[in-house]
């Protein structure tokens, strides 16, 4: 249907069947004065959010059917990964908002990929914990295979650090303590996540600091790589050979890089140590190099001592991070529960740590300061925020959640009043022009890592390990 007037726009919205009659009538009244000025009508609709932009784009391009996935109506696109796309959607049966993962149809023809998806569904549905994003249901409708997950309205830790700078020690400890609690539950059920990183940890509620009026809740996302420790070796090998590197090089443990199918729960603890490094320094342990070079550094090199970059890190925390990043799994803490217990005393704010500001020697990011992952790659030392300005509270867009979970939160002692403080609002990105926002969406081709490169990485790591062992024996 060609949208040539305000009237034809209303007709397209009505014909989609996605909107209640009252909403369509309200839209008709709002755009009637624009007559044949289609661009004016569209701009009016977008600026007043009469129809969500993503839905409007689909409707005006005659693709409203794409917005229906079983009992869910898609509201917006949140992102995409190797397995498919993730949408913000509404359950028409309950009104609940969910994150809806839809698998790429072409992938499901591959029995290995199909098995991987079904494994993810079973894992997600079996995990129930305040620090793990809940799975509601999995299904297939109209040729679309989907998994409905809890919609967490917050900010992931990677973006939090990139936006506001490195975190105070108590805040970083509280976030990763909660992540460790979620991991402890998953590990107790026999699952290993295999892709722990700041981008997969989302903070909802308020940031953890003395003036917070509600607890910060950390949710572990993306169970797409989770693996049952008891998975049959042959099936695990097939999944590993499916054509992708399993995990993220910046946070991947040495044993996972060699053979991801044999990595146990201690690989997640190594990645947790890498996440700690990022939250406190603004960069992963080995920020420079290609993916293969980073994997080799994880095998052979020790990262710079964290106290050389953040002198305020307590000795107990520095020792814990060193243990988490140990090359050998047996040299790390042996359970996520132990890590959470060790972090509990470090989540408390002292009068000094409660006085914070967002300036000082924390580096200001520029394009030249960022590594491939977008993390800070410059500045030899990073100081914590100093006294003067209160940490900003990050309250993202308010979307009702059906069943909010409140994670275990440390009681915070009162702190002395500070001088006049300045609240720093989150940066607001400039909106794209209306016409550009409503351009037809195009699927970007996925750039998969070929299987031969996976084999090459494994062979190189095995060879390097053999050479190191041989030299050590020669001594």
Query: For residue 281, what pLDDT is reported?
Result: 95
| Axis-axis angle for helices 6-16, 53-60 (nearest 10) | 100
Please check whether residues 79 and 16 belong to one and the same domain: no
pTM: 0.71
Write out the chain's pLDDT in tens, 475 residues.
Answer: 678 898 999 999 999 988 989 999 999 999 999 999 989 999 999 999 899 999 999 999 989 999 999 999 999 998 887 678 899 999 999 999 999 989 888 888 888 877 777 877 887 788 899 999 988 998 889 888 898 999 988 899 999 999 999 999 999 999 999 999 999 999 998 888 888 999 999 998 888 877 777 788 999 987 644 555 444 433 333 333 343 446 788 999 999 888 877 789 999 999 999 999 999 999 999 999 888 999 999 989 999 999 999 999 999 999 999 999 999 999 999 999 999 999 999 998 766 555 443 333 333 333 333 333 333 333 345 545 443 333 344 443 333 333 333 333 333 334 333 333 333 334 444 455 555 556 666 554 444 445 555 556 666 666 766 665 566 566 5
Domain boundaries, position 87:
70-150
Last residue of a domain, one of 46, 63, 80: 63
Looking only at the bridges linking them, the beta strands covering 155-156 and 135-141 are unpaired
Which of 102, 126, 150 terminates a domain? The answer is: 150
Are 347 and 412 spatial neighbours (Cβ–Cβ below 8 Å)? no
Q: What is the CATH number of the domain that holds 96?
A: 3.30.200.20
Examine the domain organization and report whether 202 and 178 are in the same domain. yes
Query: Which are the catalytic amino acids?
Result: 195
> Which residues are within 8 A (CB) of 249 and not within 5 positions of it... i.e. 6 or more apart?
257, 291, 292, 294, 295, 298
Asked, for residue 119, whether it belongs to a domain, the answer is yes
The DSSP 8-state label assigned to residue 304 in this structure reads: P
Q: Encoding tokens for residue 37?
A: 């000025």
Q: How far from chain centre, in Å, is Cα 256?
A: 20
Residue whose token pair is 């990050």:
394
Domain annotation covers residue 347: yes
Q: Domain of 353: which CATH number?
A: 1.10.510.10
Q: Same structural domain for residues 197 and 136?
A: no
Same domain, 269 and 336: yes
The pLDDT score that the predictor gives to residue 168 is 93
Q: Is 101 annotated as a binding residue?
A: yes
Question: Quick one: pLDDT at residue 272?
Answer: 96
Q: How many CA atoms lie within 13 A of 432 on its CB side?
A: 6
- Say if residue 205 is in the same domain as residue 348: yes
Place of tokens 């580096």: 363
Residues 321 and 293 reside in one and the same domain: yes
Task: State residue 203's pLDDT score.
Answer: 93
In a domain, 403, yes or no: no
> For residue 22, what pLDDT is reported?
92
- 183 and 220 Cβ atoms separated by less than 8 Å: yes
Task: Classify strands 72-80 and 84-91 as parallel, antiparallel or unpaired.
Answer: antiparallel
As for how many domains the chain has, the answer is 3
Helix, strand and coil content of the chain, in percent to the nearest 5, comes to 45, 10, 45
Give the Cα separation of 115 and 147 in Å (integer).
14
């Amino acid at each position: 249907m060609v949208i040539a007037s305000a009237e034809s726009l209303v007709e397209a919205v009505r014909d989609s069947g996605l909107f209640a009659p009252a909403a369509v009538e309200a839209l008709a009244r709002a755009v009637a004065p624009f007559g044949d000025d289609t661009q004016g009508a569209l701009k009016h609709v977008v600026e007043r959010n009469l129809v969500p932009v993503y839905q409007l784009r689909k409707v005006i391009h005659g693709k409203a059917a794409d917005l229906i996935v079983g009992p869910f109506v898609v509201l917006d696109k949140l992102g995409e990964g190797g397995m498919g796309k993730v949408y913000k959607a509404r359950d028409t049966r309950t009104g609940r908002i969910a994150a809806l993962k839809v698998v790429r149809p072409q992938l499901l023809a591959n029995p290995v990929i199909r098995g991987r998806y079904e494994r993810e569904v079973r894992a997600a549905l079996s995990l129930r914990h305040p620090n793990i994003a809940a799975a509601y249901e999995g299904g297939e409708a109209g040729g679309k295979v989907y998994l409905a997950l809890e919609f967490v309205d917050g900010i992931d830790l990677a973006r939090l650090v990139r936006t506001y700078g490195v975190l105070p020690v108590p805040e970083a400890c509280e976030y990763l303590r909660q992540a460790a609690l979620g991991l402890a539950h998953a590990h107790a059920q026999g699952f290993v996540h295999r892709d722990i990183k700041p981008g997969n940890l989302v903070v909802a509620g308020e940031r953890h600091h003395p003036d917070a009026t509600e607890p910060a809740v950390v949710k572990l996302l993306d169970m797409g790589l989770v693996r049952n420790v008891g998975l049959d070796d042959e099936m695990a090998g097939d999944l590993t050979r499916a054509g992708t590197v399993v995990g993220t090089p910046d946070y991947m443990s040495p044993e996972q890089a060699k053979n991801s199918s044999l990595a146990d729960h201690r690989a997640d603890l190594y990645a947790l140590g890498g996440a700690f490094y990022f939250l406190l320094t603004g960069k992963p342990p080995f920020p420079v190099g290609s993916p293969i070079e980073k994997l080799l550094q994880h095998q052979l090199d020790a990262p710079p001592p964290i106290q050389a970059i953040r002198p305020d890190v307590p000795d107990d925390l520095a020792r814990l991070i060193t243990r988490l990043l140990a090359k050998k799994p047996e040299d790390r803490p042996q359970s996520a529960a132990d890590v959470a217990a060790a972090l509990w005393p470090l989540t408390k704010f002292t009068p000094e740590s409660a006085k914070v500001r967002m300036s000082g020697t924390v580096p200001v990011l520029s394009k030249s300061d960022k590594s491939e992952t977008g993390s800070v790659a410059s500045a030899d030392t990073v100081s914590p925020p100093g006294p003067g300005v209160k940490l900003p509270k990050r309250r993202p867009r308010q979307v009702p959640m059906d069943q909010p979970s409140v994670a275990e939160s440390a009681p915070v002692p009162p702190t002395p009043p500070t001088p006049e403080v300045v609240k720093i609002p989150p940066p607001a990105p400039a909106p794209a022009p209306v016409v550009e926002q409503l351009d037809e969406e195009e699927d970007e081709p996925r750039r998969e890592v070929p299987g031969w490169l996976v084999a090459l990485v494994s062979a190189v790591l095995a060879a390097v390990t053999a050479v190191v062992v041989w030299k050590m024996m020669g001594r």
